[in-house]
Amino acid sequence: MASPLEFARFRPRLIDALAGYDRERFFKDLGAGATVGIVALPLAMAFAIASGLKPEAGIWTAIIAGFLISALGGSAVQIGGPAGAFIVIVYGIVERYGVANLLIATACAGVLLFVMGLFRLGNLIRYVPVSIVIGFTNGIAALILISQLKDWLGLSIAKMPADMFSQLHTLATNLGSFNLYAFGLGLVCLIGLFAWPKLLHDKTRFGYAVHLVLGRMTELRAVRAGSRMPGPIVALVTLTLVSWGFNLPVETIGTRFGGIPEGVPGFALPDFSWETVKQLVTPTITIALLGAIESLLCARVADQASGQPRHDPNQELMAQGIANLVTPFFGGMPATGTIARTVTNVRAGASSPIAGIVHALTLLVVVLVAAPLAQHVPLAVLAGILVFVAWNMGEWREFSPYMLRRFSRHYRLLMLGTFFLTVVFDLTVAVQAGIVLACALFIRRMSTLFSVEMVSLQPPVLTFRLYGALFFGAAAKLDPTVQAVERAPRGMTVVLDAMQLISLDATGLDALRQLHKAVLARDGVLRIESLQPQPLEVIVRSGFADEITSGVPAPAAH
């Protein structure tokens, strides 16, 4: 069995995937990677712009981090890059600390992620309750929806604040600059993204309606064949052409950012100092925590969807760490596993990390060739794509009254509390408070599982039976037993039947010692029978077994 201090082995899944790799698998990975690379382009730009950064920050993060995560990660088919979950976090860091400090925080988070994987902490992420995950995921999705209203409505706002209430106030006070053309582009984009998959999959209603409109079966087949193209790309290209062709008065990437640089970004070291790092502890932990949770949740989804061997969580964290350490030196933003692109990768037939590497290279070629065209992309279209992403990101059904009634009060409290804290405060506060609350509720629930039953009182023997785990959260439940002993006749033998006692900790042991003292005070004898292995080990190792045998309690601790 591995020692707790033993480091995780650094072995990328790519090494195992290449064993027996053949031409057929390569062409499947090639097609899947090219598809995902095309899908990643609008998402990468949209995530960066929504985070308060230039579009190239998202693009180069998708290329560099996507390549490193696939080449060095512990999952066979996971795609890495900028993610919607980071939008609110990154925007808040940029507003409070600036872009330069975001780069430093991201690099430091990369180091922290690598250390987490190195020390085998990947499995600990699985202990985060699902109610907390749903709560903060829905909270982030709601914040993304709110953050995109500015560009969707075409409002003339120079700079949006970071917190939700200030954003809503700013939006409300600037509704007079509403742009109907921008709203129309975003609305058509959103409707199109919801409707586009139905051209392929819904053959009875929507597909039949298309057939009636087109009038010829050959044209219907062409539409269905075309619907295999990723919806975001179709929306981006068609609506950009509409906006450019009709010269619509809407804000574009070119008017706000001046376009996208056509060359590869240069390597640049941020202005690093330990004083700066000390000020960035909270952003660093936030980025690392969210990156770890998102990447490992995504990897689990990839395992279930692809049927590939189970991912290595520690290797995945180390790869995420390297990616987040490297990308800031090229002006990139935080990266993690991305569920939408990973699922697209799986559905396109990917079978190894080669697909993720191809995705990064495809995106690189597209950017180098088509960078000048990106300046015509309307920001309202990117907002529509992000609203679609946020809607699919949230588990909204879990918040319905029907579903809430099915959950326990503890589950509802954790989920809704985490959602509220995420929206009102931030992710770090929400997750920290959620985990503390989850621990408190768990302790309370576990304490209800411990009980003491008086079996018989037949002088000179008083017998009790212990059930469950006697730990710090349940130790007080032994007080009535102590009181019963204090009322019992002198010289009694007190027997504890511990057959059903499954666990004992130091506080529970101290409660047993207090019971022993009460027995001795009544000139009695304590016997503990049928001990399970764990409680027996604690009692013997602590010397309590000798105290019971000798009838002498241990001296009080000071």
Whether the pLDDT of residue 208 is over 70: the answer is no
SS3 label, residue 143: helix
Whether the pLDDT of residue 147 is over 80: the answer is yes
pLDDT computed for residue 540 by the predictor: 93
Whether the pLDDT of residue 129 is over 70: the answer is yes
Whether the pLDDT of residue 464 is over 90: the answer is yes
| Residue 74 to residue 319: CA distance in whole angstroms | 8
Q: Which two tokens stand for residue 45?
A: 């730009």
Task: Give yes or no for a contact between 482 and 512, defined as CB atoms under 8 angstroms apart.
Answer: no
Task: Give yes or no for a contact between 309 and 6, defined as CB atoms under 8 angstroms apart.
Answer: no
| Residue 533 to residue 345: CA distance in whole angstroms | 49
pLDDT computed for residue 199 by the predictor: 66
Mind listing the pLDDT tens digit for each residue in 97-123?
Answer: 999 999 999 999 999 999 999 999 988
| Residue 7 to residue 105: CA distance in whole angstroms | 25
pLDDT computed for residue 550 by the predictor: 74
| Residue 292 to residue 312: CA distance in whole angstroms | 13
Side-chain-side CA neighbours of residue 246 (13 Å)? 12
The mean pLDDT value for 335-354 works out to 90
Other C-beta atoms closer than 10 Å to the C-beta of 397 total: 8
Whether the pLDDT of residue 543 is over 70: the answer is yes
pLDDT computed for residue 170 by the predictor: 94
Taking each helix axis as running N to C, give the angle between helix 506-521 and helix 533-541, from 0 to 180 degrees, rounded to the nearest 10: 70
Whether the pLDDT of residue 347 is over 80: the answer is yes
pLDDT computed for residue 1 by the predictor: 40
Report whether the peptide linkage leading into residue 460 is cis, meaning its omega lies within 30 degrees of zero.
yes
Alpha helices by DSSP H, listed for 98-173, are 99-118, 130-147, 149-153, 164-173
Whether the pLDDT of residue 223 is over 50: the answer is no
* 268 band by pLDDT with thresholds 50, 70 and 90: confident
pLDDT computed for residue 551 by the predictor: 63
Side-chain-side CA neighbours of residue 409 (13 Å)? 3
Mind listing the pLDDT tens digit for each residue in 478-509?
Answer: 999 999 999 888 988 999 999 999 999 999 99
Query: Which residues 6+ apart lie within 8 Å of 536 measured at CB?
Result: none
The mean pLDDT value for 384-404 works out to 89
The mean pLDDT value for 31-44 works out to 90
pLDDT computed for residue 214 by the predictor: 46
| Residue 375 to residue 56: CA distance in whole angstroms | 12
| Residue 377 to residue 39: CA distance in whole angstroms | 15
The mean pLDDT value for 142-150 works out to 91
The mean pLDDT value for 507-523 works out to 93
The mean pLDDT value for 154-177 works out to 90
The mean pLDDT value for 142-166 works out to 90
* 196 band by pLDDT with thresholds 50, 70 and 90: confident
Q: What are the φ/ψ torsions at residue 504 (nearest 5 degrees)?
A: -145, 130
Specify the pTM.
Answer: 0.80
Query: Which residues 6+ apart lie within 8 Å of 335 measured at CB?
Result: 61, 62, 65, 66, 69, 80, 81, 82, 83, 291, 320, 323, 324, 327
Query: Which residues 6+ apart lie within 8 Å of 273 measured at CB?
Result: none
* 434 band by pLDDT with thresholds 50, 70 and 90: confident
pLDDT computed for residue 554 by the predictor: 57
Portion of the chain with pLDDT greater than 70, in percent: 92
**Which residue in 515, 438, 448 sits closest to 480, CA to CA?**
515
* 248 band by pLDDT with thresholds 50, 70 and 90: very high
pLDDT computed for residue 218 by the predictor: 44
**pLDDT top residue among 71 and 19:** 71
**Which residue in 338, 390, 383 sits closest to 65, CA to CA?**
338
Task: Give yes or no for a contact between 395 and 134, defined as CB atoms under 8 angstroms apart.
Answer: yes
**CATH, domain range 450-550:** 3.30.750.24
Whether the pLDDT of residue 8 is over 80: the answer is yes
The conformation of residue 8, written as its DSSP 8-state character, comes to P
| Residue 198 to residue 555: CA distance in whole angstroms | 76
pLDDT computed for residue 265 by the predictor: 86
pLDDT computed for residue 558 by the predictor: 40
Query: Which residues 6+ apart lie within 8 Å of 276 measured at CB?
Result: 101, 104
* 553 band by pLDDT with thresholds 50, 70 and 90: low
Matching residue, tokens 């993690």 = 336
Whether the pLDDT of residue 166 is over 60: the answer is yes
Other C-beta atoms closer than 10 Å to the C-beta of 487 total: 7
pLDDT computed for residue 552 by the predictor: 60
* 428 band by pLDDT with thresholds 50, 70 and 90: confident
pLDDT computed for residue 14 by the predictor: 95
Mean of the per-residue pLDDT values of the chain:
87
SS3 label, residue 79: coil
* 216 band by pLDDT with thresholds 50, 70 and 90: very low
For residue 380, the surrounding DSSP H or E stretch is: helix 379-393
pLDDT computed for residue 228 by the predictor: 60
Task: Report domain extents, the chain.
Answer: 23-225+274-390, 450-550
Lowest mean pLDDT across 18-32, 184-198, 237-251, 433-447:
433-447
| Residue 31 to residue 335: CA distance in whole angstroms | 23
Side-chain-side CA neighbours of residue 25 (13 Å)? 12
